[in-house]
Amino acid sequence: MDNTIACQACDLLVNLESMRPGQRASCPRCGYRLTRLRPDAVERLMAYSIAALVALVFACLFPFLSFASSGVESVMTLPQTPGSLWRNGLPLVAILVAAFIIAIPALVLVSLLLLSVPLARGRFRPWLKPIGRWLFHLQSWAMVEVFIIGVIVSLVKIAKMATVTLGLSFWSYVAFAILFTFAIGVLDRYQLWNAIEAAEKETAS
């Protein structure tokens, strides 16, 4: 198994052969955090991803926001929000909401499950490597921050339109955001890549 990892920040090659479970490793040149060896990283990734996906589904089922504008109250669910914003002359915000609040997180969670479910059982699947590369690319692009900024921008825009009351789905969405952040936090390039390679060897032999 390859125990060498390139630092994401300065490209220094670091050998992690002597690492023990539970330890963290940082780059000796620039201090960037390289990995933290968790014995149950894949299981945690799977658990957080399933929980986050359930919370996201809940967030789509119940009232997310209720608006009171000129005496008329309207209740809106999360999936209805982009369409309503579009009709209210905010197409850009509608696209932001649909992409950053629903579509991209759902796509990331499904990808995390496609990665963690086979790996938790030590099985190799042909899609593991392409999905792994895509997720690590997204991760180094600081996705969670971008995503949270998208949520805040969208909520501020919505709040300007009317008096807003937060519904049950809003709080499901908050739970989702926390679980999603945990799942991304467990996503460890070094360990997952080793797990993918170990599963591949196991299947080939």
Q: List residues near Zn ion by CB under 5 A.
A: 7, 9-10, 12, 27, 29-30, 32
- The DSSP secondary-structure symbol of 174 reads H
Token pair, residue 155, equals 């909520």
Of 30 and 110, CB closest to Zn ion: 30
Q: Which residue has the tokens 């490209």?
A: 11
> For residues 128 and 118, is the Cβ–Cβ distance under 8 A?
yes
Q: Which residue has the tokens 């999360």?
A: 78
Of 14 and 94, CB closest to Zn ion: 14
Query: In sequence order, which residues have a C-beta less than 8 Å from that of residue 28 and are 6 or more positions away?
Result: 12, 14
Least distance to Zn ion from the beta carbon of 11, Å?
Answer: 7
Query: In sequence order, which residues have a C-beta less than 8 Å from that of residue 93 and are 6 or more positions away?
Result: 85, 153, 154, 157, 158
Least distance to Zn ion from the beta carbon of 5, Å?
Answer: 10
Least distance to Zn ion from the beta carbon of 193, Å?
Answer: 18
Of 6 and 104, CB closest to Zn ion: 6
Of 32 and 134, CB closest to Zn ion: 32
Of 28 and 91, CB closest to Zn ion: 28
CA gap 46, 120 in Å, rounded: 8
Least distance to Zn ion from the beta carbon of 33, Å?
Answer: 10
Least distance to Zn ion from the beta carbon of 36, Å?
Answer: 16
